[in-house]
Chains A and B, each alone.
Chain A
Amino acid sequence: EVQLVESGGGLIQPGGSLRLSCAASGFSVSSNYMSWVRQAPGRGLEWVSILYSGGGTYYADSVKGRFTISRDNSKNTLYFQMNSLRAEDTALYYCVRGNWNNYFQYWGQGTLVTVSS
């Protein structure tokens, strides 16, 4: 059974850093397309980043240069290093698994990041 369990969210001051984790089971993160999608409170969905099985990465302009997506194959875990956090980064962050034609097939339950002083 595919499972995605996010962790690492919390309350952080503007300018601070957080690292989100997404522990995967039932499949290998290295063989799949892994994304982060966020949802600000009461708002719609926003794609943020993707890590392809081949290692390529892409980011939304809103986070480019501040956030980094990566994986640890030995731990079967996806990460999201978030630096220089801003109030507008406040959101529920979802880890999502997909493949070559089905990019956003499985979603985790999300981890909440709140950026506030």
Chain B
Amino acid sequence: DIQMTQSPSSLSASVGDRVTITCRASQGISNYLAWFQQKPGKAPKSLIYAASSLQSGVPSRFSGSGSGTDFTLTISSLQPEDFATYYCQQYNNYPFTFGPGTKVDIK
């Protein structure tokens, strides 16, 4: 199975900060990488697919990049509604696997 790791596991940031979350796959996955946002008690929400494609309706302050094994999710200017847990997921190989999540909270 492909192992997905994320760093950091948690971070504290302020509104307006630029935030970067890193996701690494244990083997190459081309660009079959998605990012999700989950708030407490809510279903995950798709942000990015195919590593860098912005899901319809998602604010442009979110962006994704990377290919192969190393990927990043960047929030250019953190907003109050962005405090949540973020997961990456590979869908290149079965079983599709998620990273452990990165919790973004208020500094």
- A25 at the binding interface (Cβ < 8 Å): no
* B71, CB-defined interface residue at 8 Å: no
Q: For residues 2 through 54 of chain B, which have their beta carbon under 8 Å from a beta carbon of chain A? A: 34, 36, 38, 43-46, 49-50, 53
Known: A107-B45, A107-B46. Contact between A61 and B55, CB under 8 A? no
Instruction: Say yes or no for B98: interface residue by CB 8 A criterion.
Output: yes
Supply 20 further A-B pairs (C-beta < 8 A) apart from A94-B43, A109-B43.
Answer: A44-B98, A45-B44, A45-B98, A50-B96, A60-B95, A101-B49, A101-B50, A102-B50, A102-B53, A102-B55, A103-B34, A103-B49, A104-B89, A104-B91, A105-B55, A106-B46, A107-B43, A107-B45, A108-B43, A110-B43
The answer to whether the Cβ of B97 comes within 8 Å of any Cβ in the partner chain is yes
Q: Which of B69-88 contact A (CB under 8 A)?
A: 87
Task: Please list the residues of chain B having a beta carbon within 8 angstroms of any beta carbon in chain A.
Answer: 34, 36, 38, 43-46, 49-50, 53, 55, 87, 89, 91, 94-101
A103-B49, A104-B34, A105-B49 known; A94 and B44 CB under 8 Å? yes
| A-B pair number, CB within 8 angstroms | 56
- Asked if residues B43 and A47 are in contact (CB atoms below 8 Å), the reply is no
Q: A58-B94, A104-B36 are in contact. Are A47 and B46 (CB under 8 A)?
A: no
Could you list some 17 contacts between A and B, CB below 8 A?
Answer: A37-B44, A44-B87, A44-B98, A44-B99, A45-B89, A47-B98, A50-B96, A58-B95, A94-B43, A101-B49, A101-B50, A102-B46, A105-B46, A106-B46, A107-B43, A107-B45, A107-B46
Q: Which residues of A contact B (CB under 8 A)?
A: 37, 44-47, 50, 58-61, 94, 101-110
Closest to A46 in B: B98
Query: Considering only CB atoms, which chain B residue lies closest to A35 in the complex?
Result: B96
Known interface pairs A102-B49, A107-B43, A107-B44. Does A47 touch B36 (Cβ–Cβ under 8 Å)? no
